[in-house]
Amino acid sequence: MARRNDIIQGLRDGIPIAMGYFAVAFSLGIIAKQAGLTAAIGFVSSFFTRASAGEYGVYTLVAAQAAYVEIVAMCLVTNLRYMLMSAALSQKIAPGTSWLLRVLMACCVTDEIFGISIARERYCPPAYTYSAALISTLLWASGCAAGIVAGGMLPTAIVAALSVALYGMFLAIIMPPAR
C-alpha cells in the first residue's frame, strides 16, 4: 500500500513539472526540426536525455554536423551537475535499497525531479522518484516531438520566433530569484 501511495504522490507532484517540460521541450523541438530530426527521433532522444541545455547543445551540434566525439563531450560537460545531484540524493535513499534501484533513481534525476525528491521528509522511496520522472519524461519527449511537427508546418517567421522562446524561458527562470 505504501508503494502505491508513493507512486500516486509521485505522479501528482510530477504533473506540474511535466506541464512545464512540455513547453520547454516544444521550443527544443523547433530547434531539433531545424537540425533535421524527425518527430520519432526527437521523441526518443528527448526521452533519454531530458536536459534542455544538453539537448540544445546536441541539436546545435547536429545541425553543424559535428563529430560524435564533440557531441558526447558537450553532453558530458553540460550534464555533470546531475552526478552531484545523484550523490546528494543517495543520502535520501533508505539503507538496504538495492544498488540497481539506486542507479535507476540516479537515471531519473533532472533539476526538478531532484528538487521534489530531496525535499521529501525522511527517505525518498524509489517508486516516488520513478513515477514523477515517468510522467514528466513522457511530456518532455512528447513536447519535443510536437515541436518538431509544428516546426515543419508553421510559417518561417513563427518558427524563428519560437526558436527564441527557449531563451525567454531561461530568463523567466532566472529573473524572479535575481530580484
pLDDT at residue 146 greater than cutoff 70 = yes
Asked if residue 8 is part of any domain, the answer here is yes
Output the pLDDT for position 170. 55
Per-residue confidence band for 152, with pLDDT thresholds at 50, 70 and 90: confident
Output the pLDDT for position 30. 87
Cβ–Cβ < 8 Å for 143, 21: yes
Output the pLDDT for position 153. 80
What does the pLDDT average to over 57-75? 91
Please tell me the total count of domains within the chain. 1
Look at residue 123 and give its three-state secondary structure. coil
Asked if residue 52 is part of any domain, the answer here is yes
pLDDT at residue 173 greater than cutoff 60 = no
Asked if residue 61 is part of any domain, the answer here is yes
**pTM listed for this prediction:** 0.83
Asked if residue 103 is part of any domain, the answer here is no
Residues 6+ positions from 80 with CB-CB distance below 8 Å: none
φ, ψ of residue 51 in degrees (nearest 5): -145, 110
Per-residue confidence band for 23, with pLDDT thresholds at 50, 70 and 90: confident
